[in-house]
Amino acid sequence: MFTLPRLVAGLPLVLLVAGCATTAPAPEPRAPTPPAVPSAPPLPRTAEPPPPPVNLSGFPLPYRQGYADGCASATGPQRRDAQRYGQDANYRTGWLDGASLCKKR
């Protein structure tokens, strides 16, 4: 039978074990497909983008290229390399940062 002291002693152990339980990781959210808009050609993969109005010297080339394409898209026709946007996290992050920061100006 369970006595009160055994229950009190066993409860922290049960809580400790229950706290170590894991859950399945949440699936990565998929970016919604943007509507079709006129687009300008993206920069080639090896081209150095024009200097932006902010210092990006410490960032990798794909990020700088994405930033340049995103910034250009904020004020004109959309410029984005769809394949790189889907596969290259640096390019995608740069594009999103460039589009949002240049849209605010």
Contact predicate 90/68, CB 8 Å: no
Q: DSSP E strands: which ranges in the chain?
A: 39-40, 78-79
The predicted model scores a pTM of 0.54
Q: Is it the case that residue 92 has pLDDT exceeding 90?
A: yes
pLDDT per residue as tens digits for the range 30-67:
776 665 555 666 667 777 666 677 888 889 999 999 99
- 20 to 10, 12, 23, 24, 98: CA distances (angstroms): 16, 13, 10, 13, 41
